[in-house]
């Protein structure tokens, strides 16, 4: 209370000597950035995210809207859903059944049931967990960073996980159905404890269920570990 009274008294003195100078200076202080308003994206929407200089965290939305929080972020409607842009770390909540497209980011963490994935990390690791995919395309690629994926990969899909410089770990939950083709140009490949290694390149194939989906896992420089019982 004493400090507040002193501030008011100081303001009155400055106002008396220099009218409006004190209050003009006070009002010119920068405000906290406002968070974008959430948007309804429709049924099974596409959500595009472009974060040119930051990491991205994606979780499930509790109310069916798309929410975005982060300094410098913006959110807008596009023809088939919602687009989010930012130049720093951003957190985005998306509805269940979203087709998620991350065009650029410096690493991504993704959790929840989605209807498709297309994620590109320019510099940073990708972690995607709790996925439940069926009959859709899912692509995760990091130019420089590891890729870690877990979930159910159902029949009729095409799943492609790759890194130019980093290891890859894939855990297929019970009920997955995929023909797996794993290879590295420099490292080891392990599927359910069976391993392959060489002076440079190594590769292994395996099948989960009837193998009706195609799963390609490739590392330019890094080892690969895959389990078909959900264990990481």
140-180 pLDDT, tens per residue?
A: 999 999 999 999 999 999 999 999 999 999 999 999 999 99
What's the confidence (pLDDT) of residue 113?
A: 83
* Distance, C-alpha 106 to centroid of its chain: 9
Q: Are residues 4 and 100 in the same domain?
A: no
Task: Give me the percent of the chain exceeding a pLDDT of 70.
Answer: 84
Judge whether residue 5 has pLDDT over 50.
Answer: no
Does 33 reside within a domain? no
Give the full edge-to-edge strand order of the sheet including 39-40: 39-40, 65-69, 90-94, 56-60, 108-111, 126-133, 147-153, 168-172, 224-227, 188-191, 194-197
What's the confidence (pLDDT) of residue 28?
A: 47
Lowest mean pLDDT across 30-44, 60-74, 179-193, 212-226: 30-44
Angle at 96 (CA atoms; ends 60, 139), nearest 5 degrees: 90
Does 232 reside within a domain? no
Q: Are residues 10 and 76 in the same domain?
A: no
Q: Are residues 24 and 101 in the same domain?
A: no
Judge whether residue 189 has pLDDT over 50.
Answer: yes
**Structural domain for 117, as ranges:** 43-227
Task: Give me the percent of the chain exceeding a pLDDT of 90.
Answer: 75
Specify burial of residue 193 (Cβ count, 10 A radius: 0-12, 13-18, 19+): exposed
Does 117 reside within a domain? yes
pLDDT band at 34 (very low <50, low <70, confident <90, very high): low
CATH number of the CATH domain containing 108: 2.160.20
Q: Are residues 24 and 50 in the same domain?
A: no
Q: Are residues 6 and 94 in the same domain?
A: no
Q: Are residues 17 and 120 in the same domain?
A: no
Q: Are residues 167 and 110 in the same domain?
A: yes
Does 219 reside within a domain? yes
Q: Are residues 70 and 107 in the same domain?
A: yes
Does 177 reside within a domain? yes
Average pLDDT, the chain: 87
* Stretch 116-128: mean pLDDT: 97
pLDDT band at 81 (very low <50, low <70, confident <90, very high): very high
What's the confidence (pLDDT) of residue 33?
A: 47
pLDDT band at 121 (very low <50, low <70, confident <90, very high): very high
Does 12 reside within a domain? yes
Judge whether residue 29 has pLDDT over 50.
Answer: no
Number of domains in the chain: 2
| Count of C-beta atoms within a 10 Å radius of residue 27 | 8
């Amino acid at each position: 209370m004493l400090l507040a009274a002193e501030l008011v008294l100081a303001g009155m003195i400055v106002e008396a000597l220099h009218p409006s100078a004190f209050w003009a200076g006070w009002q010119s202080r920068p405000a906290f950035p406002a968070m974008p308003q959430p948007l309804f994206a429709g049924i099974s929407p596409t959500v595009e995210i472009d974060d040119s200089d930051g990491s991205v965290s994606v979780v499930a939305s509790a109310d069916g809207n798309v929410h975005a929080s982060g300094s410098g972020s913006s959110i807008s409607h596009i023809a088939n859903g919602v687009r989010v842009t930012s130049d720093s770390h951003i957190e985005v909540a998306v509805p269940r059944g979203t087709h998620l497209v991350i065009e650029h980011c410096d690493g991504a963490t993704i959790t929840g049931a989605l209807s498709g994935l297309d994620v590109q990390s320019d510099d940073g690791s990708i972690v995607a967990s709790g996925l439940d995919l069926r009959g859709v395309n899912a692509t995760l690629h990091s130019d420089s960073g590891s890729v870690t994926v877990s979930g159910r990969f159902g029949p009729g899909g095409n799943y492609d996980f790759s890194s130019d410089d980093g290891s890859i770990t894939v855990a297929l939950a019970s009920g997955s159905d995929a023909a797996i083709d794993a290879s590295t140009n420099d490292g080891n490949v392990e599927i359910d404890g069976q391993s392959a290694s060489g002076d440079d390149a190594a590769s292994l194939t395996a099948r989960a269920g009837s193998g009706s989906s195609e799963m390609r896992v490739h590392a330019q420089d890094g080892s690969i570990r895959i389990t078909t019982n959900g264990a990481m």
